[in-house]
Structure 1
């Protein structure tokens, strides 16, 4: 029996289950979202991170006007299955975790680059991620992102541009 368990753990990727901490779940979110040119995000990994009833919402500026969108996380993940012509690399530079019992909220500032070696980010966003710990581990309940408003930089506090955080 122990041999079978060892084989199963050896064959199952480390991201097959929900994360064991809120910080690990958020770090996994950014890793799964990142991809090289001509490749899709790791949608299967993303799907495992979100609860089936989760929501993804966000705010961006288009032609200097704020635009808000919201969707089911399943629809968000489905959209990540398509290969993109450009690279998409997420670098989390600030993370603040607040946790109580089975609830956690994570404030996360992420820089996005098409080229991971680029000195300057193509854009920066601030994210609020709510998580719930069930019997499988920490899963995302909701993700709200807000892309930096031109001319109004997001404070990095103790973070440093280009210095990606680990889980």
Structure 2
């Protein structure tokens, strides 16, 4: 009976995060964020990956001027529940994980394409993802993204454009 209970718990995605790594959580985030045209992101999976008090903040350039935005993870996830007419495919090409005890930070460079077979990304961004491991496993505490500045490419430091990383 005990073996059956352990097997059920191990297969349940709500409990499976306890044994995953920060890298696996980040890879799951990019996968859950990606979607085909007319289909929303996997918002239920995103909800599992974030702490309830997490933040999503980021910067980009609009008309040559820097723009900064900060929202709660719940607001971010709610927006991901909406289907969009175009595809949105995230391809992580660089990942560096630093971990100490219950804290981890992941530096991640991601290319985004509307068509997953396109040779050139529509845009790229650098991300800093902070995670905390509680009794249920690793959860994202904050995500800071910065979309690539036109004319200033993000260094890939050994990564290769279009070569998506796995967990």
Residues 132, 141 of structure 1: 8 Å contact kept: yes
**What is aligned with 2:156?**
156
Measured after TM superposition, the shift of residue 144 of structure 1 is: 0.2
Unaligned stretches of 5+ residues in structure 1: none
1:41-120 superposed matches below 5 A: 41-120=41-120
Alpha-carbon separation, structure 1, partners of 2:4 and 2:106: 38
Gaps of 5+ in 2: none
RMSD value, Cα: 1.4
Pairing 1:36–2:36 present: yes
Shift of 1:7: 4.8
What TM-score do you get using the length of structure 2 for normalisation? 0.94
Partner of 2:27: 27
Distance 1:73 1:66, change over 3 A: same
On the 8 A contact 2:15/2:136 being kept in 1, the answer is no
* Structure with the higher fraction of residues in helix conformation: 2
Secondary structure, aligned partner of 2:17:
coil
